[in-house]
Structure 1
Amino acid sequence: GEGPRPDRRAFAILIDRHSPGGVIEAVINLTSRVIEEWKRVEDVMPILTPTDLGFIERVARSDPRVIQACQDIGIYDMSQVYFDAWAIGIDERWGRDRRLQQGLPYYRRKPEDNQYAHPLDFIVIADTETEEILSVDVRTVDGERTRPPLKQQNYLPTSLQHGYPYDTLKPIHITQPDGVSFQLHGNMLHWAGYKMHISFNYWEGIVLSDISIYNPVEKRQRPLFYRISVAEMVVPYGCPEPPHHQKQAFDVGEYGMGLMTNSLRLGCDCKGVIQYLDGVISGQQGTPVVVKNAICIHEEDNGLLVKHTDFRDARSISARDRRLIISQIVTAANYDYRFYHTFTLDGTYKLEVRLTRILNTYCLHPSETANPYGTEVAHGVTAHNHQHIFSLRIDPEIDGLENEVQECDAVPLQYTDDSKANPYGNGFFCRQRAVEGASLASLGRSWDIVNPTKVNPVCKKPVGYKILNSQYPGLLAQEGSIVRQRAAFATKPLWVVPFKDFRLYPAGNYVCQSTGEAHQSGNETLEGWVSDAKHADIVCYVQFGLTHIPRTEDFPIMPAEPVSVTLRAANFFQSSPALPFLTLPQNRDTNSQLAGL
């Protein structure tokens, strides 16, 4: 662009260890090396870092109350007791006076044992700042403790007695003898007409910005999206009995996706010809921490892009599709999430999340059954019903900043005996309505992000991109519940709000122990941002996910389950974006061969 390059600035959150819950926000001009803003934020709790979560196992093992709780159920070696540290949804005993976390205990008879097969019947509550165990909450059933289930349910390859016969599955190799089709210039990525910037931060992990696509008809690069990221997610558990009401995991806002990102391994986590990018985040003391190979970039064949056979002369044409995938893998205690930002040759963007994990488990007393709040996945082991709802933040720039959202419902035309408009009863059409604020889910509903100032000359409609979201489960927590207040963003599949600097995260900047109030001091949430978005620079929050009723097939480790949301060109191009790819010579793969069976 024209004009001088703007100064680079960094936003930092500092924790005042001498003040409980003391948080300071700072804006630093990196060019002039000047602190431009310094503001203390009251009545909020900052994110829990890996360092914050690292002490609870060490401290709990030496706490006399924890030792006694273990001895009462036959455990005497505290080195065999392990704790998963979680943020806490609510604990009325301390409210927001202390920075809390909870420890969920498990038993391992040997280091390689699967601890989630041996859950224990108590939890601990700890103060993050003082590293003090505040309470050991022991559950009893009719006055009795529950001894841990001891049957092993392991998943490590070295522990498996019945492996798959390796010689029946032949290797599949992915090769690109001429190299990859994408280019990287620093963090700028070019591929098949797309251009975008890739960055990484401690909160969201991957952030894609300045996304554009080349239009061969107009011979220009056209902007699509200013910024895309996973801004929040919530995992509420459905068992109303204590202590499970405290399980309300906001894995983005409470822990940070960047902080939990894996270092990826070649040939294991991504397959093919791979380009990695490191992630750099701030450590506990403000020093840079490098997450090696945090981001994977690679291409995959994506089946047929187009195919048609003329039945008259049997002439057939086809073109292969391919997809560019920008991915990361996040591990949050027992859960693993694979995030795939995917682009295809027809201009489509898709975020796919593949969930693979170990279920969060709890022990069953002999007098109990798992129903109705869970499933007994192994003898004496229950896994509770829960949900995963993700929030994709989309800052659109469809051919410019003048964007708005239209709700699209496919509806039947009225049909009566004397209907003149629909005499045969087969008519239906797309009913559109402008979205300002929130939009509800409805069967067959989609949404169009359009630029009303740019009209497609062929169809005389505004250029746009369609949001296709068929995997919104709806938040099942009841109105007035604390989790529904904290996760208000998850109550609707789509929110459209005006853009404003520093408004990024729908559950607020300080999710730990938040109240969920829309206008909570220092932690405004998405509900508080809703106002008249007409003629404003808009931002969209799209919610999608699943409701998980556990199965025995999910234990001891769960096969991957995908959920996704798609943004697809809708009258953005004047003709099929697949046409240029019909001329590619690689549409016929000369390396394909007959199996010869």
Structure 2
Amino acid sequence: MTTLEARPGTTHPLEMTTTAEVDRVREALAAAGLLGETVRFAFFAPEEPPKDAVLAHRDGQEVDRRFRAVLLDLATGRSWDTVVSATRGEVDSSRELDPPRDGQPPIIDAEFEVIEDVLNADERWLEALRRRGIEPAEVRAVPLSAGVYDHPEEVGRRIVRAFGFHQAHEKQNPWAHPIDGIVAYIDLTDRKVTRLVDVADMPVPAAQGDFDDPAVQGPPMDLKPIEITQPEGRSFTVEGNRVRWGKWDLRYGFNEREGLTLHQIAFDGRPIVYRASVAEMVVPYADPSPVRFWQNYFDCGEYMFARYADSLELGCDCLGDIHYTDAVIADDLGRPKTIRNAICMHEEDYGVLWKHSDLFTNSREVRRQRRLVISFFTPIGNYDYGFYWYLYLDGTIQLEVKATGLVFTAAYPEGGNEYATEVAPGLGAPFHQHLFSARLDMTVDGVRNAVDEVQAERVPMGEGNPYGNAFRKRTTRLTTESSAQRKADGSVVRTWHIVNPERTNAMGQNVGYALIPESKATLFADEASSIHARATFATNHLWVTRYDPAERYPAGDFVNQNAGGAGLPAWVQADRAVDGEDVVVWHTFGTTHFPRPEDFPVMPVDYTGFTLKPVGFFDRNPALDVPATGGAHCSSHVEVHGPAKEGTTDGH
């Protein structure tokens, strides 16, 4: 096998992917005879070394850069899961997938691009359009992941299901004009429609949905510009993909399945999280109608949604003194594709950090909070998702997901639809959920961690509590993978503390970080449903597993047309101990969306996420050393009593 030149200048195993590495992987696969005229790349991402190897790495040591590539033969439907060393130019492993057992590779652009031609070659589809008075040239087809249902002819085949949307001219928003009552099942390998479900001739909604038309937007409201300035420049530094800001030190990465990843997050030299990412998401819909019962999308595992990440623009997506980073992925042919400005990094003021005005000392102290923001945004079909990681001066870590874009639409019948909202005359938006799984590989002051469930507990009135005012904290150690499958409960402010049982603070308490959930709903689908089997990760807010470098995705490696049971439900059957071990915390969070008329024609951002907050990790407030804000309009030392002095106001 041909050995290719090692990558020069590589100093760390978690550096960002380069175009040269993508080329080397493609050349190695070609040299091994694994590429051909009809073979495409369905997935490409760094194959990160195991945690112990990365933690043991020292500057100057040789780095073997390996990548995982999933290959798909469009002509036959066969596929291979490969691992390639770009450093050595060798294929380290190659395994052909068994689709009925493993599932299918994700759907790729080359397959999306042929859908309208396939549909327009099917007489049943054309007849259904003719009956509705619609020209085929004015139909935009939307191919969607098929899931797994009781259709024997689909076993082992690459299937998508396609809706049509009417677009009378190229500037018209087709999502506002669904052609309802019809859906086509398509075999991607044979390129033919295998089944057409045509149950109703419903009028195509005529609601005006062109949100980008100035005539629809109306005259702009009178808002003065907001400018974010940092006269002395930014406070963070970036060297390669390593970031230092205040007491924070971390690396970041990017791949087409998870998008933005954070690595080796440390505060004041102390490790907290080894790796953090959103490893999967599912969007299950609630309409059980014959044309929609199957709608549920795993945007990470079925579509590799980060391959469509936006190129972010200053003043539009990000404000301030911005550091942008390009991301390199591979296209369908295995050629490098650079997403310009895929990652945005900047600082934000975040109001008051800490403050006290004291009656006895006549002192007044205030410090302002700020946060480092690391983000990316990706559109996938009708929706757009922004992922924002925040690091705060007091040691807090937060993830915020912003959902916007266009709600998925359907015709809304005169008699109503108990599974959808009418968002415009005759136009409905089915109910659905957006459920995300964060993979948090924790290293709180070291690799050996444990998880405690902490919640409030009422104390009954009686002896020791005669007036009934008492409540206390109840702490339960989660010792095994079976006991660590938990639901959030906002009624008792339930949180989970990731602690290091081998490290204590000045008070003798185990150092830790609390995972603070939003306590929103998990998956609503019935336990006997297909989507429940495939998205079992979304049935609990918390899972804790023993670290295994092969356990990366909570619904399994190959989600597309996987019948279910892969990922977390399979791994936890071993019921490994997780008390004082190398553990990974998996957190399900998200929203249940009952669309509103205000979400049409374009949806204002909806927010969801979680927080990691230090609990006993420090001996005292770690942000006492944050400097007072300078400037003519802020003073840190002011007497409390007496008339206000000029120039002492505090902006919130």
TM-score by length of 1: 0.91
Equivalent AA in structure 2 for residue 185 of structure 1: E
Answer with 306-315 or 346-355: which moved more: 306-315
Q: CA deviation at 1:27?
A: 2.0
Per-residue deviation, 1:17: 4.0
2:625 is paired with a residue whose SS is helix
The 1:349/1:104 distance shift into structure 2, 3 A limit, reads same
Report whether the alignment pairs 1:118 with 2:177. yes
Letter in 2 for 1:193: K
The alignment status of 1:455 with 2:504, answered yes or no, reads yes
Evaluate the alpha carbon distance shift between residue 211 and residue 529 of structure 1 in structure 2; reply closer, same or farther with a 3 A threshold. farther
Q: 2:157 and 2:329 mapped to 1: Cα distance?
A: 26
Question: How far off is 1:8 after superposition?
Answer: 2.3
1:41 to 81, 97, 100: 97
Q: Which residues in structure 2 correspond to 1:354-393 (within 5 Å)? A: 354-366=402-414, 368-370=415-417, 372-393=418-439
Distance 1:36 1:236, change over 3 A: same
Q: Is the 8 A contact 1:465 1:570 kept in 2?
A: yes
- The residue aligned with 1:155 is 211
Q: 1:215-364 maps to which residues of 2 (within 5 A)?
A: 221-312=269-360, 314-364=362-412
Match of 1:209 among 263, 266, 271: 263
- Structure 1 residue 525: Cα displacement: 5.0
Secondary structure at 2:603 match in 1? coil
Q: Is this contact kept in 2: 1:88–1:102, CA < 8 A?
A: yes
Q: Measure, in 1, the Cα distance between the counterparts of 2:217 and 2:596.
A: 22
**1:313 deviation in Å?**
5.3
Residue of structure 2 aligned with 1:107, choices 166, 170, 175:
166
Helix, strand or coil: the match of 2:374? Answer: strand
Tell me the residue number matched to 2:486.
Answer: 439
Read off the aligned partner of 1:449 and give its amino acid letter: I
For residues 19 and 536 of structure 1, do their structure 2 counterparts lie closer, same or farther at Cα, with a shift above 3 Å needed?
Answer: farther
Q: CA deviation at 1:460?
A: 1.2
1:409 aligns with 2:458: no
Question: Which of 241, 245, 254 is matched with 1:187 structurally?
Answer: 241
C-alpha separation in 2, matches of 1:478 and 1:358 = 27
Q: Does residue 72 in structure 1 map to residue 115 in structure 2?
A: no
| Structure 2 unmatched ranges of 5 or more | 1-56, 636-646
Letter in 1 for 2:460: Q
When residues 158 and 114 of structure 1 are mapped into structure 2, their CA distance, relative to the original with a 3 A threshold, is same
Determine the C-alpha separation between the residues in 2 that align with 1:230 and 1:249.
15
Residue 254 (structure 1) shift: 0.6
Deviations 1:126-165 (A, max 9, x none): 122233222332122xxxx112122323211434262333
Tell whether the 8 Å contact from 1:507 to 1:525 is kept in structure 2 after alignment: no
Deviation at 1:325, TM superposition (A): 0.7
Query: Is the partner of 1:433 in helix, strand or coil?
Result: strand
Report the counterpart of residue 621 of structure 2 in structure 1: 576
Match of 2:469 among 414, 418, 426: 426
Alignment of 1:567 with 2:621, yes or no, is: no
Classify the secondary structure of the residue corresponding to 1:467.
strand
C-alpha displacement of 1:529: 6.3
2:392 counterpart letter in structure 1: T
Match of 1:548 among 593, 598, 618: 593
Residues 63 and 37 from structure 1, CA distance in 2 versus in 1: closer, same or farther, beyond 3 angstroms?
Answer: same
Indicate the SS of the match to 1:207: strand
- Give 1:527 deviation, angstroms: 4.9
Any idea what the Cα deviations from partners look like across 1:422-471, whole Å, max 9, x if unmatched? 233222221111223211222310000000000112x2110010000024
* Contact 1:489/1:527 (<8 A) preserved: no
Work out the CA distance in 2 between the residues paired with 1:286 and 1:253: 19
Aligned-residue CA RMSD in angstroms? 2.2
Q: How far apart are the structure 2 equivalents of 1:156 and 1:62?
A: 33
Q: Is the Cα–Cα contact under 8 Å of residues 506 and 526 in structure 1 kept in the other structure?
A: no
Contact 2:122–2:192 (8 Å) recurs in 1: no
Aligned to 1:52: 111
Q: Compute the TM-score of the two structures, normalised by the length of structure 2.
A: 0.84
Gap runs ≥5 in structure 1: 215-220
For the residue of structure 2 that corresponds to 1:302, the secondary structure is strand
1:508-561 CA-to-partner distances (Å, cap 9, x unmatched) read: 111111111248xxx985555653323431101001111111111111111111
